[in-house]
Structures are given as structure tokens and as C-alpha cells.
A = this chain, B = another copy of it.
């Protein structure tokens, strides 16, 4: 019947051209991709430990004092983990019937991007610090812990955010317009002396203020500038209410019940509550679901 549109229909509907897998490939697949066997579980736990260690290595390497003393050791450890994850990536490819689909999936992309920065650092020094993106691989943690409940909750959150997407896009457009107009205004009023040296920086300040972050590295000094800034702050105060309201409304709905989507078979009126038996517009009996 398919009354509700399938949210996954954007993924490739073409049936995968699966290769025939050899027994060692099936065994490998079981270890790497599943967490039900002891070997699979052990693999996942070791993997998560390695991800943690490699992220901590990068973070330590970024501290100047530590790099000066242990730079060499950290360099070797970084390459050790990178080669480890590269091999793991290749094994994943090898053990799959349809590796192209994995390579294009979210996890496949994260696994690939996680390995890149160290290689890239040979060309662009410093890019190894982007290795922290490996933290995204930790999402696998949910699989080991068998946190079906968590996945369910994640789905509710993502559904609410997706349902709010259009409203939030409009809201962001409105915010950006306010930022540009108020940024220009403050640039005109304050001039360069108090830090408003260009409209771009002025807009950066406006974002800082509207989001109530307020670093204070740039702040208006003239009475007029402060008066206008006060208006922005109070507006931002009202404005912060909007995305909260949007997301909350979507999160409240699954708990207290949405209005029904059924239409009256006689007059076509919509928005009946779920327990309505008669059309509230024309009084005809509604179809039971």
C-alpha cells in the first residue's frame, strides 16, 4: 500500500550487483561488519580503542611543548594508526560483495576521509590535524552497545530536525539579512576606531551579538552605536525563541499527538483530531482508518 513515502528512497534503488564472495571474504565480513560473534565484537572494541588513541595522539602533537620533546614518537604513532586504518579500509572493500555501495555510504566516506589527512600532510604540512575527523568513526560505538533504543531516539531527533528544516532555512535567511543590515549600520556609526574596520568584520560582530556569544573583542563605543546594538541584542533575544520553538514543536508532536491527516470524504475538510468520528465541517461520518 505504501501510504507513507519511503524516507530512504533517495538511496540507490538499483539492485546491487553483488560479487560472489569466497569463504575467507565471508569470514572477514563477519568480523569487520558484524558485532554478534566474539571475533566481531573484539574487532569493534579494538577499533574504537585505536580511534581514540589516534585522536589523542593528534591532540598531543598539537601542543608545542609536547611536540618539541616527543615529536618523533608521535609522528611514528600517527603513521602507525594511519596505515592500520588504511589496511582496515582495504579489508572492508575486499570483504564486500558490492564495495561501491559501501564506498559511497556515510560510513564508507567517513572511513576514507579519516585516512586522508596524514597522507595529505606530506603535501600540505599541518593537514594531519584534520585527522580528528576520525572521531566520526566512533558513531560505530552505538552498534557494539546494541543500543537499538538510542538509534530509535536518534531517528526521532533527526526526523524532528528534518521536519523543521524548511522553517529553519527561512529563519536563517532572515537572520542573515538582519546581520547584513545591522552590520552595515554599525560600520557607518562606529567607523574603524572601535574595531568595525569593514562591513565584513561588522557582520561578524553582528553574528557574535545576535547569537549572544559576545566575545567583546569588537564592541561599540559610541552612544549611538550602543543604542543600535541594544536593539540588536533585544531582537536577538526574541529571535533565539524561533528555532527553539520550531524544533520543540516537532518534538512535542510525537508525544502529545498530531492532528490527523485524513480528509472528509464528503467536503474534503482536513485537520481533524485523531479521535474524530464526524467531519467537523459538514458533519458526515469520517472513514475509519
Chain B residues whose C-beta falls within 8 Å of the C-beta of A248 in the assembled complex: 241, 244-245, 248-249, 251-252
**Per-residue contact bits, chain A 36-66, to B (CB 8 Å; 1 contact, 0 not):** 0000000000000000000100110011100
Whole-angstrom distance from the CB of A16 to the nearest CB of chain B?
Answer: 29
B157:A167 contact, CB within 8 angstroms: yes
A277's partner among B153, B181, B257, B267 (CB-CB below 8 A) is B267
Among the interface residues A63, A156, A249, A285, which one has the most CB atoms of the partner chain B within 10 A? Answer: A249
Distance, CA A281 to CA B183, complexed state (A): 55
A212 within 8 A of B: yes
**Per-residue contact bits, chain A 193-214, to B (CB 8 Å; 1 contact, 0 not):** 0000111111110011111111
A8 within 8 A of B: no
**Per-residue contact bits, chain A 170-183, to B (CB 8 Å; 1 contact, 0 not):** 11110111001101
Chain B residues whose C-beta falls within 8 Å of the C-beta of A116 in the assembled complex: none
A233 within 8 A of B: yes
Chain B residues whose C-beta falls within 8 Å of the C-beta of A55 in the assembled complex: 180
Distance, CA A183 to CA B58, complexed state (A): 12
Question: Within the oligomer, what is the number of copies of this chain?
Answer: 4
Which single residue of chain B is at the shortest CB-CB distance from A194?
B217
A253 within 8 A of B: yes
A289 within 8 A of B: yes
Whole-angstrom distance from the CB of A133 to the nearest CB of chain B?
Answer: 6
A105 within 8 A of B: no
Contacts A241-B243, A245-B247, A255-B259 known; list 14 others, CB within 8 Å. Answer: A64-B192, A130-B184, A133-B184, A138-B173, A150-B169, A157-B242, A172-B234, A200-B223, A204-B227, A216-B216, A241-B246, A249-B255, A270-B274, A273-B280
- List 7 A-B residue pairs with CB atoms under 8 Å apart, sorted by A's residue number: A58-B184, A62-B200, A64-B197, A136-B181, A241-B243, A269-B277, A277-B282
